[in-house]
Amino acid sequence: MELGCCLLRKLKVEGGNQEMKSKKITSDCLGKTILATLLLVLALPVYATMTMTPYLQAVTSNSIYVLVECNLATPLVNVQYGLTTAYGTTVTATSASATVSPVSYIHKIKLTGLAANTVYHYRAYQTAGMNTADYTFTTAALPGTSYRFAAMGDFRTNTSIFNAISLLVKNANPRFSIYGGDLCNDSNYSTFKTEFFCSNQLALIAKVPFFNAPGNHETWGTNTQATAQAPTSSSGTQEYYSFDYGDVHFVSINNQTTYSVGSTQYNWVNTDLSTSTKPWKIVIFHEPAYCAGGSHAPNTVMQSYSTNIFEPNNVSMVIAGHNHYYEHCLVNNLHHYVIGSAGAPLYSTGTASYLVYASSTYCYGIIDVTPKTMRMVVYNQAGTQIDSIDLANSVKGAKSLPNATALTITQFVIVTYVPAAEAGVFYVQDPTGVSGIRVETSSTRPVKGNKVKIKGTVNIKTNGERVISGATYPTPSGSVTIKPRALSNKAVGGSGYVGNPGGGASNQGLLVKVWGKVSKVSGTTFWLDDGSGVDNGEVDGTHGLKVIDSGLSSPSGMMVIVGVVASEKVNGKTIRVIRFRERKL
């Protein structure tokens, strides 16, 4: 409008000084036109731009968060998702979290109503038509499902190493990752962008969600909170939290907020772990309870957590960072790991009585989980294996492992029998009474009823009996009275036991109660026949279950015997045996 008025005034100018006046008016109009144009440009909104590819957080079996960084808080980001690249569903962020130094906006979009253990496609946009590329994610597995996840920590400073490790982790195809903090060297968001959100890490976390336990470098400040989204848990806070994935319960502890013994966080961790019924429990935090060497001493508060909370509640493994190396420590048969550098400057390792293995190297872990077993392999930055560990959450799980596998049974098992006739031998079984096993040790044996955690090597004896040899165990944690399971003679050892040489039955080592009539006596060994026709392995046609180490001078008649299931090989056959513990009248 102002431009039109100027032109009209120009046309009305008359007289001898018309040319001079015309020039002046034209100049005035041009200046006003430029000013109007500038004001119009300044009044227009800045063009909305997504400044980083999306990444994933807080995955569950039916939901996940997509986080997208943009230069503006509005318009809010939209995510399209579905089972194919046709997508089909669109959801809009409810808000955006602002970072500082510089200001940026992280839009957090929760996708809900998803199917468990399912691959989804997704893409994001802030301005309609300006879509990201297509990405995929997989929702969390349900119990009973085997899967893989990764563990890393202390990424800061050396971005070329971190970039290389991120690619190796991506190629290992984990379902998610757990991070032990120190994502970058300080809390400035520009440092997040240059040290953590590197190209291969972005490619990884666009597909593989991560859960972080904050470190002392990024701290638990505005930028850390803006760039992270924890799953909803009973903690009621984003600072520390827990989540379930398949058969594993994870707890993330925050060393950057109050975590002292007796604090709200300490009490919550105790309640959370004691109430979880998952067969596996993993705890992650930044400052290690046990370590040797480096620039940071063991955290004595976290040692209290370990003694008072982790060990009694059957935590399977503890993963920390902070010291920049790899260390594996074993305290009371609980494995503590320092997976402390995916890029941070390396430290020298030290020595300690509880140190199992140490290496001053960049590292990451790949963990494979089944309902019964867990295996972690640790690699360096070249992808070369430097350590591994096998865990079983029960005797039944231990017996599913190959021979010569070194393992720890992470759950308490119960001592069922300590034979006087065999030095260094005792039997244990799962509290559920599902499976038992023979244990051989050079240590002082526990007593009947003790609750222990066993570490050793699972093997099979020449008589077909499974055994954990070279076993060690911490001080027994109390004792219980165990009730034997009643089994018919034919059920002892499992179906098809005779004629299965070299095998081991799932109920070997189990405390049982059997019955029958004495069919044969040979010294202190005798056979019980309950009429089920069990082949005793002899050549004289006698039937019945073999009972050994009985201590009975003249067994005869009908008997009820309590003992543990074992085996022997006779005439090429693995036969059913009971190692006598007591006689029931």
Local structure of 395: helix, strand or coil: helix
Q: Rounded to two decimals, what is the model's pTM?
A: 0.88
Which residues are within 8 A (CB) of 522 and not within 5 positions of it... i.e. 6 or more apart?
none
| pLDDT recorded at residue 501 | 41
Residue 293: CA atoms inside 13 Å, Cβ hemisphere, count?
22
Q: What is the mean pLDDT of residues 540-546?
A: 86
Which residues are within 8 A (CB) of 306 and not within 5 positions of it... i.e. 6 or more apart?
289, 290, 318, 331, 334, 336
Phi and psi at residue 378, in whole multiples of 5°? -105, 135
Q: Is the pLDDT of residue 398 over 80?
A: yes
Which residues are within 8 A (CB) of 577 and not within 5 positions of it... i.e. 6 or more apart?
545, 546, 547, 548, 565, 566, 567, 568
Q: Is the pLDDT of residue 24 over 50?
A: no
| pLDDT recorded at residue 46 | 56
| pLDDT recorded at residue 78 | 97
Q: Is the pLDDT of residue 454 over 90?
A: yes
| pLDDT recorded at residue 20 | 41
Beta bridge partners, 467, equal: 438, 459
Which whole-number Å values give the CA distances from 268 to 70, 236, 562, in the listed order?
A: 35, 10, 43
**Band of residue 66 on the pLDDT scale cut at 50, 70, 90:** very high
- For strand 573-584 and strand 55-57, is the pairing parallel, antiparallel, or unpaired? unpaired
Q: Give the lowest-confidence range in 94-98, 261-265, 343-347.
A: 94-98
Structure tokens at 245: 């994935």
| Mean pLDDT taken over the chain | 89
| pLDDT recorded at residue 29 | 46
Local structure of 455: helix, strand or coil: strand
Q: Is the pLDDT of residue 505 over 90?
A: no
| pLDDT recorded at residue 37 | 44
Q: Per residue in 138-194, pLDDT tens? A: 999 999 999 999 999 999 999 999 999 999 999 999 999 999 999 999 999 999 999
Q: Per residue in 401-449, pLDDT tens? A: 999 999 999 999 999 999 988 999 999 999 988 899 999 999 999 999 9
Which residues are within 8 A (CB) of 8 and not within 5 positions of it... i.e. 6 or more apart?
none
| pLDDT recorded at residue 461 | 87
Residue 525's identity, in one-letter code, is T
User: Which element (helix H / strand E) includes 4?
Assistant: helix 2-12
Burial class of residue 353 in the structure, from the number of CB atoms within 10 Å of its CB (0-12 exposed, 13-18 middle, 19+ buried):
exposed
Structure tokens at 409: 């049974």
Q: Is the pLDDT of residue 309 over 50?
A: yes
Helix, strand, coil in percent for the chain, rounding step 5: 15, 35, 50
Percent of the chain with pLDDT over 70: 90
In this structure, the dihedral spanned by the alpha carbons of residues 543, 545, 550 and 556, taken in order and rounded to 10 degrees, is -40
Q: Give the lowest-confidence range in 369-383, 416-430, 535-549, 557-571.
A: 535-549
| pLDDT recorded at residue 464 | 77
Burial class of residue 157 in the structure, from the number of CB atoms within 10 Å of its CB (0-12 exposed, 13-18 middle, 19+ buried):
middle
Local structure of 573: helix, strand or coil: strand
